[in-house]
Amino acid sequence: MNYIVQMIRFLLIPLILYFTLLPSFSALRGGVDYKIPFDYTKLNQTELESKAEFYYTSALNTKELNEEMTYALNIYNLLSNAYPDNITYALRLGKLYETLGKDRYAKGQYYRAMGVNQSRPEPYFYLGDFFYEREQYRKALKFFLKAYDLGYSENYQTLEKIGTIYQKFGDTEKALYYLQCAVVLNPSDSLFAKINSIKNADNINNEYYRN
């Protein structure tokens, strides 16, 4: 009996992916988004999460809508529809769309995650990173600081990027504060070099104005 149940589950997942394949292609290429009626109670969340994680890791290494990317998109769409309160699925979808260069879809998923739970730092961090990569530093700083306030005060990437943005803005005091906090968490040579570079430049400026 257990063997039969396992076989049914094994066959069910490919069928689900087959019937949800078209919406993902359509959403990516034509902007059409629609849902196929499905009884989500039949899903095995743990199995789908495991498969999604596998394809997600592979998909992030490509910028093409290949097999891994397609499966990752479809499975996370299934999980997101079945468990809309789980922001991880929306964030993963956002990152996949971002990898494909579909910025509007990526931001939509990040904001969706934020709307589900505004007290979690992750959506703000993802949005900060999204704008940081596009050199929209003022927007990036706003979201990184929000993530910092909501619990990412000891997150290395948040601290390092906030410090780097303040460095770009010429605010050496704040830049050094956040970068020195970051280097405590990850004492890398490159970060020490950046901090020393800022300090040296600041000393040169101070010496210039004193003279």
177 — pLDDT class (breaks 50, 70, 90): very high
Q: What is the pLDDT at residue 33?
A: 44
- Please, what is the end-to-end C-alpha distance for the chain in angstroms? 88
Q: Is 175 inside a domain boundary?
A: no
Cα–Cα distance, 100 to 64 (Å, whole number): 6
Q: Is 165 inside a domain boundary?
A: no
Q: What is the CATH number of the domain that holds 10?
A: 1.25.40
Q: Is 35 inside a domain boundary?
A: yes
> Quick one: which of 100, 106, 102 has its CA closest to 123?
106
Q: Is 193 inside a domain boundary?
A: no
Give pLDDT tens digits for 112-164.
999 999 999 999 999 999 999 999 999 999 999 999 999 999 999 999 999 99
Q: For residue 87, what are the domain limits?
A: 2-118
Hey, what are 37's tokens? 């009626």
Q: What is the chain's mean pLDDT, rounded?
A: 84
Does the pLDDT of residue 42 top 90, yes or no?
A: no
Q: Is 123 inside a domain boundary?
A: no
Q: Is 61 inside a domain boundary?
A: yes
Q: Is 85 inside a domain boundary?
A: yes
pTM of the model: 0.79
| Half-sphere exposure of residue 57: CA atoms within 13 angstroms, side-chain side | 5
- The DSSP output letter for 61 is T
Output the CA angle 14-18-20, nearest 5 degrees.
120
Q: Is 177 inside a domain boundary?
A: no
The mean per-residue pLDDT over the stretch 68-80 comes to 93
Q: How many domains does the chain have?
A: 1
